[in-house]
Structure 1
Amino acid sequence: MKKAAPKKTAAKTKAPAKKPVVAKAAPKKAAPKKAAVKKASSAKDHGSFGARRTLKVGKRSYTYFSLPDAEKKGLDGISRLPFSLKVLLENLLRFEDGRTVSADDIRAVKTWLETRTSDREIAYRPARVLMQDFTGVPAVVDLAAMRDAVKGLGGNPKKINPLVPVDLVIDHSVMVDKFGTPTSFKENVDIEYQRNRERYEFLRWGAKAFDNFRVVPPGTGICHQVNLEYLAQTVWTKTEGKEEIAYPDTCVGTDSHTTMVNGLAVLGWGVGGIEAEAAMLGQPVSMLIPEVIGFRLTGKLNEGVTATDMVLTVTEMLRKKGVVGKFVEYFGNGLDNLALEDRATIANMAPEYGATCGFFPIDNETLKYLRATGRSEERVALVEAYAKAQGMFREKGMPDPVFTDTLELDLGSVVPSLAGPKRPQDRVALTDVKTNFHGALEGEFGKPGQASRRVPVEGQDYDLGHGDVVIAAITSCTNTSNPSVLIAAGLVARNARAKGLKVKPWVKTSLAPGSQVVTDYLNKSGLQDDLDAMGFDLVGYGCTTCIGNSGPLPTEISQAINANDLVASAVLSGNRNFEGRVSPDVKANYLASPPLVVAYALAGSTQIDLTTEPLGTGSDGQPVYLKDIWPTSKDVAATVRSCVTPEMFRTRYANVFDGDAHWQSIKVTGGLTYDWDGGSTYVQNPPYFVGLQKTPGELSDVKDARILGLFADSITTDHISPAGNIKAQSPAGSYLNSKQVGAQDFNSYGARRGNHEVMMRGTFANIRIKNQMLKGIEGGVTKLQPDGTQMPIYDAAMEYKRRGVPLVIFAGKEYGTGSSRDWAAKGTMLLGVKAVVAQSFERIHRSNLVGMGVAPLQFLNDMSWQSLGLDGSETVSIEGLANVKPRTKVNAVITFADGTKQSIELLCRIDTQDEVDYYENGGILPYVLRSLAA
């Protein structure tokens, strides 16, 4: 870990007032003619490596930070960096300030060429932030609360806005309640608005109240597809003074599949809510300079093989390789044979193969896609000119970049595949699916000898058995952005219809595209009629089945499954298939391409070998096989060429933020500040700024704290953060009951992330967490000390608060691993925890704790709470926090129940001067608020 450049900070009575510049994409209409590079005429500082230059594209001039010039002035060899690291390097050059980004940070990227790995932590500032509604609501809640706080300080609430562009796409709330009819879409939208009106009222207010913040309303598309097709620009621009600055389009998102936009050469990945809020408010994202695994692609896909088959193969290979926490970058001549939508399919599943991102460089295919989706000619010309000027344009004959390690795939070796029955990396060749299911039925599901068992379905003239496909869903950002696989699905439906095949009656079918453009080209081709005939009517534009919003199965189907303990199957074109995720009624879940989803709906079972057994009997009485209805690659390509046009994208996205009549009819209350509804159980004003003064108070040490929890190794943010269903017999359930909310309307912690009262009650409430203060007991409980009374962690924390007693938590190694969930840190702070003492921390959760004003403290050497003999009855005082500096040591005095004391030294993991500033201000949100109010 690097130490921040030393800097004497202002006295604690004054917070920094530095304000980042607002960035906007600014595509213009005039088409440029040519590009030319010259030295910038600006008198501004060129940085340590003289990189500031001017790029002329047609009639417009852009300031940019030249990598070739920096290479000549001390960064020799950087032209051989992976393209993804060139993006990071440009970011460091542009933001070099001697504090958050130093010349040594920049040189560390050059040093990477020799070591191909690094433990250097850098400050990275993405161009923009992407959010979906589940994870985005808390961020907007915090912005609204900041406005109230500024007003309370006598400042102007108008000052509180995102400082980089933020787009929030409402795509996670639609569920497949209705399906298989022409009215399914309308009915599902109606239900969605009824369920989520409180949240939507709040987001609609935010869309009107905040600058630099846009909301894409429900019923429009999935955030990642909207990002790919419209929001992303590949090269971003902003106006700073009289200059227009050009730089790589980059983003972080509050959804893990933000990586999809890497297919368009936009470096992006998913982060936790606190990181996203920090980026939104102009603060840097802390990250290590990553290892970069090069994935060489050669050859081309064979006839009948889809992009989905390819990505399932890539995911399997990279999981075996081990790329967690690393960048993956694709290279090789195989890229010449991949459409950009195919690349986006691979990039999308980076979370499934474990990488931070799956990056594709800019090349001619990038330019082709930008034009095909209706981007302006000027933007396309800027992308080409900028990428070529920076050495970021992939061209034939270029030497391969230097990578940490590589692996290779001949695309010609890819075969039709699915993945399942539980994990996305468990690829199964289509020829082996039947065998795979039989093996899982006997092994994982513990039902040997039951493959042929079938049971009657009440009120129906069919029976049901193990492996029967009860859900067939064309869904998810992974595949619905790719016209080739959606057109293929439509052609399979058309050919099956012509043969007289029908979907089996027990299959719940659904089509949930990622954008309205999909509907346009399916309608233009006439294929939507064929999909409708097979039951794949439009159900909504959103994530649906892939995130568990598959909706209920028909009652008689659900009863047959559960009463007879059947292992039913789902086949979906999604990216995740963990057990219990898709539907509580379905145990075996297989990921597949959209055309295979249609095929399995026709077959009705995963106990059929689609390569050798018939899907069904045609209207002529003859068996129909998959090969009889599978379209040729030539047919698919011809249909795509004739039916997918740039005008579709321009038309659909011209009014993308306007919304339908539902959205327009939502009443917006409040003006610059939100009119909080005290009775709402979904959105509440959080207490982060209660009593906030213009200047932070003096820091103090922790005195006589009680221990809220003793935890062992590998406590994850899934253990800490509220997630899943809300139990009636829980503090959160009791709270909702007190608000006259019935258990049937509890919804989930995810849907209630905008209400801190629910979320803090669910912190440390995981049913599998083990507080070692209570031996042999699972769940979110603790002992109230000195009483020794066992009670829920939330209840104990509130009693300690009433007594004026601060709290600490002790843990083992790798504390906070898992998804970087904001509520794992927010909930910890709201419970009154002042410090977490652990043997080691996961990097992002450590940062999030500091961001919420909680001190992460690390045991030295091999010390642990176990070696100290703690049982939770002790009190703890921590000396040294009142004058904290980056990575200093503090002293903890532990007083045991018998009165004896022991003093130990701990490393304070507040690692940088920026983090010291956050901590002095009580967290990143008060820090930014005071900065903007100053």
Structure 2
Amino acid sequence: MLAIGTGGLEVALAMAGRPLHLTTPKVWGIRLTGQLPPWVSAKDVILELLRRHGVQGGVQRVLEYHGPGLASLTAMDRHVIANMGAELGATTTVFPSDEAVRDFLDGVGRGDDFVEITAEQDASYDFDEEIDLSSLEPLIARPTSPGNVVPVREVAGEPVAQVVVGSSANPGFRDFAVPAAMVAGRQVPAGVSFDINPTSREILQDLTRRGATFDLIAAGARIHQSGCLGCIGMGQAPASGRNSLRTFPRNFPGRSGTEDDAVWLCSPETATASALTGVITDPRDWADRLSVTPPAPDLPDPPSNNDAMLEPPLPPDEAARVALERGPNISALPELDALPDSLHGPVLLKAGDDVSTDEISPAGAAALPYRSNIPKLAGFTLTRLDPDYPRRAEAVREETGHLIVAGANYGQGSSREHAAITPRYLGLRAVIAKSYARIHWQNLVNFGVLPLEFEDPADYERIETEDRLHLSGLREALSPAGAPTLRVRNATRDEEYAVRHRLSPRQREAVLAGGVIPAMTPPPGAGPSASHRPGA
């Protein structure tokens, strides 16, 4: 399996049988040698890559792990590493299908599905890197970026108010069983909130069968329901300005649900040692003081597999007769009008580098209940960067629309397509950035926002908020014969800048139509287009 993140609209189109289009990435071969030392785990492997390369290091790359070090990593260890490949900006991550995968499939009753798939012995890669697992140490990402990684010992002693274990980044049984073994017979000190966010009901079943749930509760942990929860700011919001250590994949500003949060990312071992001491603590130092040996919890045999939670779909004939129900908090997708031939509007926001989709369309308990209510959700758009953005956008939406100027890696993080839909609803027609995160760039195209890039990144410094920019001749420029370079005139400063797009002919058609959906929908009275004919 090659699992590649995309926006929701592209997932829906793929489910309907349409192709998924991607720019062919380079392949980054990462050779693993050695074996992880005690108190160092899979989370530290991916944090090491983020320490070396930052959040843009994997852009337009597939990470392929290989080498003798793989033998010591379980399938769930590999999941932990692959999960945060997205934080490097990678298209995806892949591991070989080997004995570790066979062991995992055997454990969940699917051993007959195993197929060995490994790279050829003389396989070569576009980029090469090596990590000696035995040389790694516990690492931690400081607020407010997964790429801001340092050794735990470098920040040891920082006070901790909250520790949360769980999420998609550390979802396996061992990621909870190791903390449970560490806190068994011990107590979390006053002033520390120790939160356990089980990944699934099945994990909670297995922890309970083994007595680990009791050890966690007895130590003072709060057990929350299964799901994303704290990772997307739905509960477990930390106290303002207090350090929160989490085994989560992301720590973008405000993602936790607290405006002035201070979220750190680390392994379950580091999180638990810190919960027990009340300060950021290297688990090796904690273990040395107490003469504790590293826990090695046995996996349940067999692990829980609760299929009773799954409901099969209705037969197609019956499903076709079921009316789609929408409650009052569910709105239809707004109408997406075609791109005009000329854009003449103000720059309502000038954003810096590495702006995340959490900052464009916030997560958290205030906004996410309106995820299916676009007009209401639009009121939260970009408010982390400019609380007045929605009001100013509404003021010019009907008259001119507006533009956004941004730095590098605009739209990193979640595949959340609302970060394209709600600005579009508020009249955004173009973004000019130094560069984009892959999924957000595609989401902008899907909803009819023109993503442009500076030919000269230094021109970014010459544009300010409220400058009025003019783009003319867009329909010719985005025609099949059009050149990828356009001129932008800054009427406020009487300057011009060269910008370019990276749109394929298919994407040009979508942006001109106002988005993928209008491009697929023939005008009233028209017959089916080529893209609608069976088999097209």
TM-score by length of 2: 0.78
Amino acid at match of 1:479: N
Is 2:124 the counterpart of 1:402?
yes
> Out of 177, 182, 185, which is 1:492 matched to?
182
Describe the SS at the equivalent of 2:370: coil
Q: Distance in 1 between matches of 2:322 and 2:137?
A: 56
Identity of aligned residues (%): 24
Is 2:153 the counterpart of 1:514?
no
Conserved 8 A contact 1:721-1:827: no
Q: How much does 1:333 deviate? A: 0.7
Going from structure 1 to structure 2, the CA distance change for 1:323 and 1:911 (only over 3 Å counts) comes to closer
Conserved 8 A contact 1:325-1:354: yes
Deviations 1:603-656 (A, max 9, x none): 2233x6765579xxxxxxxxxx654344454xx3xx32xx3315x22xx1x223
Amino acid at match of 2:123: P
Larger Rg: 1
Corresponding position of 2:528: none
Q: Distance in 1 between matches of 2:479 and 2:302?
A: 59
Q: Distance in 2 between matches of 1:591 and 1:337?
A: 23
Corresponding position of 2:347: 709
Going from structure 1 to structure 2, the CA distance change for 1:593 and 1:816 (only over 3 Å counts) comes to closer
Going from structure 1 to structure 2, the CA distance change for 1:748 and 1:408 (only over 3 Å counts) comes to same
Q: Distance in 1 between matches of 2:486 and 2:2?
A: 42
Corresponding position of 2:167: 476
Corresponding position of 1:852: 447
Is 2:192 the counterpart of 1:539?
no
Q: Distance in 2 between matches of 1:585 and 1:891?
A: 38
Describe the SS at the equivalent of 1:490: helix
Amino acid at match of 1:524: R
CA RMSD, 1 decimal? 4.6
Corresponding position of 1:754: 372
Alignment: residue pair count: 517
Corresponding position of 1:644: 301
Deviations 1:228-274 (A, max 9, x none): xxxxxxxxxxxxxxxxxxxxxxxxxxxxxxxxxxxxxx322333344
Is 2:417 the counterpart of 1:822?
yes
Q: How much does 1:320 deviate? A: 9.5
Corresponding position of 2:245: 571
1:170-569 alignment, distance < 5 Å: 266-319=1-54, 322-375=57-110, 377=112, 379-380=113-114, 383-384=115-116, 392-394=117-119, 398-420=120-142, 422-434=144-156, 437=158, 467=159, 469-481=160-172, 483-494=173-184, 497=185, 501-551=186-236, 568-569=242-243
> Out of 350, 358, 361, which is 1:723 matched to?
361
Amino acid at match of 2:430: V
Corresponding position of 2:310: 657
Corresponding position of 2:272: 598
Conserved 8 A contact 2:350-2:405: yes
Conserved 8 A contact 1:570-1:590: yes
Q: Distance in 2 between matches of 1:889 and 1:572?
A: 43
Q: How much does 1:531 deviate? A: 1.9
Amino acid at match of 1:885: P
1:164-175 alignment, distance < 5 Å: none
Corresponding position of 1:884: 479
> Out of 616, 628, 634, which is 2:291 matched to?
628
Conserved 8 A contact 1:490-1:595: no
Describe the SS at the equivalent of 2:169: helix
Describe the SS at the equivalent of 1:348: helix
Describe the SS at the equivalent of 1:365: helix
Amino acid at match of 1:749: A
Is 2:344 the counterpart of 1:687?
no
Deviations 1:476-528 (A, max 9, x none): 122231x334322222233xx1xxx3221322222221122222322232222
Q: Distance in 2 between matches of 1:907 and 1:314?
A: 32
Describe the SS at the equivalent of 2:194: strand
Q: Distance in 2 between matches of 1:629 and 1:273?
A: 46
Amino acid at match of 2:310: F
> Out of 406, 425, 430, which is 1:836 matched to?
430
Going from structure 1 to structure 2, the CA distance change for 1:362 and 1:758 (only over 3 Å counts) comes to same
Q: Distance in 1 between matches of 2:12 and 2:182?
A: 44
Q: How much does 1:684 deviate? A: 0.9
Conserved 8 A contact 1:889-1:905: no
Q: Distance in 1 between matches of 2:183 and 2:135?
A: 27
Describe the SS at the equivalent of 2:156: helix
Q: How much does 1:715 deviate? A: 7.9
Corresponding position of 2:518: 926
Describe the SS at the equivalent of 2:331: coil
Q: How much does 1:542 deviate? A: 1.5
Q: How much does 1:541 deviate? A: 0.7
Deviations 1:808-848 (A, max 9, x none): 64858769554565344434543456x53848764655544
Q: Distance in 2 between matches of 1:891 and 1:429?
A: 46
Q: How much does 1:470 deviate? A: 2.4
Q: How much does 1:363 deviate? A: 1.5
Gaps in structure 1 of 5+ consecutive residues: 1-265, 385-391, 438-466, 615-624, 660-669, 691-698, 727-746, 770-777, 782-790, 801-805
Q: Distance in 1 between matches of 2:358 and 2:235?
A: 27
Amino acid at match of 1:758: K
Q: Distance in 2 between matches of 1:612 and 1:866?
A: 47
Amino acid at match of 1:473: V
Going from structure 1 to structure 2, the CA distance change for 1:879 and 1:671 (only over 3 Å counts) comes to same
Conserved 8 A contact 1:490-1:531: yes
Amino acid at match of 2:177: I
Describe the SS at the equivalent of 2:309: coil
Q: Distance in 2 between matches of 1:925 and 1:609?
A: 51
Q: How much does 1:896 deviate? A: 7.6
Gaps in structure 2 of 5+ consecutive residues: 313-319, 523-530
Q: Distance in 2 between matches of 1:721 and 1:405?
A: 32
Q: Distance in 2 between matches of 1:889 and 1:406?
A: 32
Describe the SS at the equivalent of 2:394: helix
Corresponding position of 2:393: 793
Q: How much does 1:909 deviate? A: 4.4
Q: Distance in 2 between matches of 1:720 and 1:600?
A: 27
Q: How much does 1:294 deviate? A: 1.5
Q: How much does 1:755 deviate? A: 1.3
